[in-house]
A and B are shown apart, each in its own frame.
Chain A
């Protein structure tokens, strides 16, 4: 066996260096960055909620809980969240069953539309529905009046039912995903086994399929509730004009001049605990499968023929989609390209003025678009890099306490955007890191908020790469970093780019944290859309909204191409708060 002499000699010298893995500082730094990212704001939030002029105090909590306005907002939130949960299950479960188990036509179309609803920023939907079902100028109400000659409006979107409706049409995909993926994992033979024993179709559904899907139904319900709890945009657009608050708009209003930061902190902590508890219950329900419940191979499935109900079923699906996609997108397009959105779309009314106004004339929108793109790209790049490192650490168990790293990376899922914003506001308006007033505080907010989605994607990527592939490189003479570059990185590339895209999509639509953290020079698109509403600039809102949607869909298409599969299948973790 010929071994070069130089190699033989080198060994004893190197032995000492081997005590320390030279790649260790990289892993340690990434883990430390994560801890700081999480611990600093949450620590300040907790501290602020109990800090008084003369030492620790529970006064803020007493004030928060004793304030009748806050109590009312809390109750409204509970009502909203509960009904959104129920309605999302009522819409999402049948839809999932239809596409997963029956011969309903145009399945791909339905799935694509559910995905479209999933990625549509809820606040855009809320705007669109203001134009559709506002009591005075709403197009559907005008149509109703024209048809019936009635004086009263048919629909009033500025109401609790209206709010529940609008939140539900963009939240039911969570239920849909949970159930469709679970149904895909239940082999038909389990059902057939029951059928062979003499159970009728209904009996099989009730005794076999339903109990197996039940955890997914409940966990979809919980995810929807969480979504509704954390949402800021839709309540701000629909509830405030209707004269009521939810907890998120209440926290936001505590930041209007003069800011009552301690009170906001005291309201935030219970909200945080509530979401944490709900998510804990949801994880327990799914058992140890956790987020991975939706992985695995599709088992062979029997397709249930619907017979004469095929087309009525399709119509029902399309009716849901009309509410979530067709009507809102249509009215946004109409508003974008017309002089007066409420007037019929005649030749005189058609214009590109809104487009040029938004992109070229109005400095606020132009600056916001640039800010959003800058933040989107920056957060996605840093975030993708960070989640790649973190998930590599946890999947390969590189540092002591890697479980803590995994927990922290997923933990922001429980933090509603508003709460995160309060925490970041407190943490970064004081030394050592004075970030408030710069884009950096938004960057930190987005990075924290999108971490779980990116991490879940990156983690799935690394788990799909067996560590034996790396071991094989090591034993043949490549060091850890060399193996990372030659073997792991090329294999993980498309998965990490997908993580990049998920983070990017999350950032460009973010509203609930931005609305508290922005300053006049650091407005982003979502905040400007919110501002434009105050000015009644519906044309510019529509242009910005459609631009945001176009970027989102372009990114989604990119991800689908990269991963060669549905985004819905891979995006399992709940991105709480829209």
Chain B
């Protein structure tokens, strides 16, 4: 089971650079999600890995084979990969069984063995008995399963998925996330998974690579990305966050107006601009206590509730800080504890204040 190594990959469409010096390493058997907004180059990257596109620069390696470089590209049919498309790309003129069996024709698999493997795979995706149907006669979820079966039955070295769930309705999508994760754990195929849905990426993958403007800006587990976003973009793209622009006062202190925050860093250069990210649910809110002592490594602030929106499972507050006029969003438990106009005190652990690398 080889892994995938991408070095300095670049691809332009006319004047537009879709991928710009992208580096990525996928370990053998790992599932990495490529996450980013539309136009970030994630699908282009996937199609480069599949061999549908030729890079202008950079290399794509699978194990010890260099599959793509600016000089030569091994065509898709000789890459031992499989791909699941956003549209499923099932062939409407072939039955489900023929769709699934198609890739086995080129694997030198004998006919009897082929039939057996198709049957087995249809059972795995819970489509037993659907072999003689045509794709047009199946529901969206079933078509999705056929696409999965067709990709897995050839036992590819690398599996590529291009937003495979985006055409499903919300309930089915959630169900299929777990399904894909289960299949990955069963087969253990090295997998690249493209999506713009952060929840999907976090549920399905071992690691998430966040793409912005054709580059990987951060890669890590869901927790790492959520708790330690490295840039403004990552902090905002993954979950909700508060961004505060300030100036470093000491190695672990950031100031904005009269606001002083202890942050999760010890190496800030005094005087440098620093942006910090604070997750709404990591802010503790209580009715205002005039002389609350500041706990060690914690920031105690006061503010006034400007808006409170009841969301069912949480309350979304907007609190204007007295120290600086900054408005923080705070996620509080239900039932609502504070009303609009009420003064509140906020506690934020220093570890929850994450300085970002691209603060300038």
* Residues from chain B with Cβ under 8 Å of A473 in the complex: 91, 102
Residues B191-247 near A (CB distance < 8 A): none
Interface residue? B324 (CB, 8 A): no
Complex Cα spacing A468 to B73, Å:
19
Instruction: Say yes or no: B91 contacts A469, CB within 8 Å.
Output: yes
Taking the closest CB of chain B, its distance from the CB of A476, in whole angstroms, is: 3
Is A478 in contact with B74, judged by CB distance below 8 angstroms?
no
Nearest opposing residue in chain A for B83, CB measure = A475
Q: A477-B77, A478-B77, A478-B106 are in contact. Are A18 and B72 (CB under 8 A)?
A: yes
The CA of A21 and the CA of B82, in the complex, are separated in Å by 21
- Please tell me which one of the listed residues A19, A469, A487 contacts residue B72 in the complex, with CB atoms under 8 A apart: A19
Asked if B75 and A490 make an inter-chain contact with CB atoms under 8 angstroms apart, the answer reads: no
Question: Which of A3-11, A54-62, A203-211 sits within the interface?
Answer: A3-11
Q: Residue A471 at the B interface, CB < 8 A?
A: yes
A10 — nearest CB in chain B belongs to which residue?
A: B78
Q: Does B76 contact A (CB under 8 A)?
A: yes
Given A4-B107, A475-B81, A476-B77: 19 more A-B contacts, CB < 8 Å: A3-B155, A3-B157, A15-B72, A18-B73, A18-B75, A466-B87, A466-B89, A471-B85, A471-B89, A472-B90, A473-B91, A473-B102, A475-B50, A476-B82, A476-B103, A476-B106, A477-B106, A487-B91, A491-B93
Inter-chain contact B89/A469, CB cutoff 8 Å? yes
**Contact between A14 and B78 (Cβ–Cβ < 8 Å)?**
yes
Contact of A7 with B74 in the complex, beta carbons under 8 Å: no
- Cross-chain contact of B103 among A1, A477, A480 (Cβ < 8 A): A477
Can you list 13 pairs linking A and B with CB atoms under 8 Å apart?
A1-B156, A6-B108, A14-B74, A18-B72, A18-B78, A21-B75, A471-B52, A472-B91, A474-B77, A477-B77, A477-B107, A486-B102, A487-B91
Q: Interface digits, B83-119 against A, CB 8 Å rule (1 contact, 0 not)?
A: 1011101111100000000110111100000000000
CA distance A471 to B108 in the complex (A): 21
Interface status of B154 (Cβ within 8 A of chain A): yes
- Structural contact, A474 and B157, CB atoms closer than 8 A: no
Shortest Cβ gap from A403 to chain B (Å): 12
Contacts of A491 in B (CB 8 A): 91-93
Interface check B1, CB cutoff 8 A: yes
Number of residue pairs across A and B with beta carbons under 8 Å?
94
Q: Which of A4, A19, A468, A478 contacts B85 (CB 8 A)?
A: A468
Chain B's closest residue to A478 (CB) is B77
Decide if A256 is an interface residue (CB 8 Å cutoff): no
Residue in chain A with minimal CB distance to B47: A471
B281 within 8 A of A: no
**Chain B's nearest CB lies how many Å from the CB of A310?**
40
Query: Is B150 positioned at the interface, with any CB of A under 8 Å from its CB?
Result: yes
Q: How far is the CA of A472 from the CA of B77 in the complex (A)?
A: 10
User: Would you call A135 an interface residue if the criterion is a C-beta within 8 Å of the partner chain's C-beta atoms?
Assistant: no
Asked if A468 and B87 make an inter-chain contact with CB atoms under 8 angstroms apart, the answer reads: yes
Is A2's beta carbon under 8 Å from chain B?
A: yes
Residues of A within 8 A of B154 (CB): 476-477
B123 at the interface (CB under 8 A from A): no
Write the nearest CB–CB distance from A578 to chain B, whole angstroms: 37
- Chain B residues whose CB sits within 8 angstroms of the CB of A385 once the complex forms: none
Taking the complex as formed, is A479 at the interface, i.e. its CB lies under 8 A from any CB of chain B?
A: yes
Task: Tell me the minimal C-beta distance from B197 to chain A in angstroms.
Answer: 20
Hey, which bits of chain A sit against chain B, CB under 8 A?
A: 1-4, 6-7, 11, 14-15, 18-19, 21, 466, 468-469, 471-480, 482, 486-487, 490-491
Residues of A within 8 A of B106 (CB): 476-478
Assembled-state Cα–Cα distance A287/B1 (Å) = 53
Nearest CB in chain A to that of B79: its residue: A475
Q: How many residues of B contact A (CB 8 A)?
A: 39
Closest chain A CB from B89 CB (angstroms): 4
Q: Which residues of B contact A478 (CB under 8 A)?
A: 77, 102, 105-106
3 smallest A-B Cβ distances: which pairs? A477-B106, A476-B103, A472-B89
Name A6's closest neighbour in chain B (CB-CB). Answer: B108
Q: Quick one: closest A residue to B29, CB to CB? A: A1
**B65 at the A/B interface (Cβ < 8 Å)?**
yes
Quick one: which of A1, A2, A480, A490 contacts B93, CB cutoff 8 A? A490
B164 to A: closest C-beta gap in Å: 12
A21 to B51, CA, bound (A): 13
- Residues of B20-74 whose CB lies within 8 A of A: 50-52, 65, 72-74
The one of A1, A4, A18, A476 in contact with B102, judged by C-beta atoms closer than 8 angstroms, is: A476
A475 cross-chain contacts in B, Cβ below 8 A: 50-51, 76-77, 79, 81-83, 160
Q: Is B80 an interface residue (CB 8 A)?
A: yes
Smallest CB gap from B84: residue in A: A472
Residues 156-192 of chain B, each 1 if its beta carbon lies under 8 Å from chain A, else 0: 1100100000000000000000000000000001000
Q: Which of A2, A466, A469 has the most CB of B within 10 A?
A: A469
Residues of B within 8 A of A480 (CB): 75
Given contacts A475-B79, A476-B82, contact A1 B89 (CB under 8 A): no
Q: When each residue 1-27 of chain B gets 1 if its CB lies under 8 Å from chain A and 0 otherwise, what string results? A: 100000000000000000000000000
- Are B108 and A4 within 8 A (Cβ)? yes
A497 CB to nearest chain B CB (Å):
15
- Complex: A478 Cα to B52 Cα, angstroms: 13
Complex-state Cα separation, A21 to B106, whole angstroms = 19
A508 to B154, CA, bound (A): 51
B85 to chain A, nearest CB (A): 5
Chain B positions within 8 Å of A4 at CB level: 107-108
Residues of A within 8 A of B155 (CB): 1-3
Given the complex, which residues of A lie within 8 Å of B73, measured CB to CB? 18
B65 to chain A, nearest CB (A): 7
- Chain B residues with CB under 8 A of A471: 50, 52, 76, 83, 85, 89
Complex Cα distance, B93 from A476, in Å, reads 17
For the complex formed, measure the closest distance between the CB of A463 and the CB atoms of chain B, giving whole angstroms.
15
Residues of chain A within 8 A of B92, CB atoms compared: 491
* Smallest CB gap from A473: residue in B: B102
How close is A434's CB to chain B, nearest CB, in angstroms? 44
A21, B76: Cα distance in complex, Å: 12
Complex Cα gap A2–B102 (Å): 18
User: CA separation between A2 and B153, bound complex, in Å?
Assistant: 12
Complex Cα spacing A537 to B74, Å: 68
Interface pair A472/B83, CB less than 8 Å apart: yes
Q: Which residues of A contact B51 (CB under 8 A)?
A: 474-475
Instruction: Kindly provide the distance from the CB of A398 to the nearest chain B CB, expressed in whole angstroms.
Output: 13
User: Closest residue of chain B to A4, judged by CB?
Assistant: B108
Return the chain A residue nearest B156 by Cβ: A1
How many Å lie between the Cα of A468 and that of B157 in the bound state? 21
**Which residues from chain A contact B72 at a C-beta distance below 8 Å?**
15, 18-19
Q: How far is the CA of A19 from the CA of B72 in the complex (A)?
A: 6
Closest residue on chain B to residue A477 by CB atoms: B106
Which of chain A's residues have a CB closer than 8 A to the CB of B82?
475-476
Which residues of chain B come closer than 8 Å to A11, judged between CB atoms?
65, 74, 78
CB of A523 to closest CB in B, whole Å = 43
Q: How far is the CA of A345 from the CA of B72 in the complex (A)?
A: 78
CA distance A477 to B155 in the complex (A): 12
Docked Cα-Cα span, A405 to B57, in Å, equals 29
CB distance from A407 to the nearest CB of B (A): 18
Q: For A3, what are the chain B residues with a Cβ–Cβ distance below 8 Å?
A: 80, 155, 157
Which residues of B are found within 8 Å of A468, using beta-carbon distances?
85-87, 89
With a CB–CB cut-off of 8 A, which chain B residues contact A466? 87, 89
Per the bound structure, the CA–CA distance linking A524 and B311 in Å amounts to: 79
Of listed A1, A7, A468, residue having the most chain B CB within 10 A: A1
